Amino acid sequence: MRLTGKTVLITGAARGLGRATALACAAEGADLALLDLCEDLDGVPYPLGTRGQLEHTAMLCRKQGAAVLTAACDVRDPSSVEAAVALAEDRFGRIDGVVNNAGIAAPSGRPVHEIREDEWALMIDVDLSGAYRVVRAVAGAMSARRSGSIVNVSSTAGLVGYRHFAGYVAAKHGLIGLTKAAALDYAPTKVRVNAVCPGSVRDDATAEGRMLAEIARALEVQVGEHEQTFTEAQPMNALIEPEDVAAAVVYLLSDDARQVTGSVLTVDGGFTAR
């Protein structure tokens, strides 16, 4: 029970890695503030998490004994982020850990010269600036208490390039830069900032994930055959399970990682080791 007595705030918690991480944190004793946009976004060509999915995540966590707060939050909007953080602090008294998981994989699938200004801006606003807004909203109080752990969910796209994914790659590289800079900003006050870089994560039905299928669609890989295609690119010949990434996040949130900050932890089956 490595997170007993801690409150963890998770963005993008309705499904996928957000749900898997919430369940892993609940199993380790954390109370949870679960946030998601809970509506679709113009410009994103696939459905995003719903309020019903967010409440289902909350229900699964409550079954493990966690106290849970849910709220709709748009990480593009500073006032929405600040209101959600204030709500969590009012309910639980403090936020001990943050998981910046909210993100989109599309609009993608085209070379740089075909990416429109609004498509580029949307990707950066959600995947990079959204995390900055959450860090800005929580880091002051964490610093005042001289305690806290922030985990940014980047990607192997934060470490290498991917064809036809310039916006996503740029945002995820930027997220690692934000992680390292913020880690140095807050090291004197014992607030830790780290990143995880998942590889190809299986779209687990229990977590209702669909990111891998959407990446396949953008790459014009046949959906239905895409898991085998991605598996063949993995040195360990297996897709990453959502629980594998969640376990890495729990470690970084816990006191086991009390001397770990500014680090980038890959959970990619060796993909970036080549």
Active site residues: 168
**Tokens (6 digits) for 24:** 């892993």
**How far is residue 95's CA from residue 114's CA, in Å, rounded to a whole number?**
41
Environment class of 155 (CB within 10 Å of its CB; exposed 0-12, middle 13-18, buried 19+)? buried
> Which are the contacts of 162, defined by CB distance < 8 A and separation ≥ 6?
168, 169
Report CA-CA distances (Å) from 214 to 105, 144, 195, 218, 270.
7, 41, 23, 6, 22
Q: Length of the chain in residues, anyone?
A: 274
Cβ atoms of 160 and 203 within 8 Å: the answer is no
Environment class of 145 (CB within 10 Å of its CB; exposed 0-12, middle 13-18, buried 19+)? middle
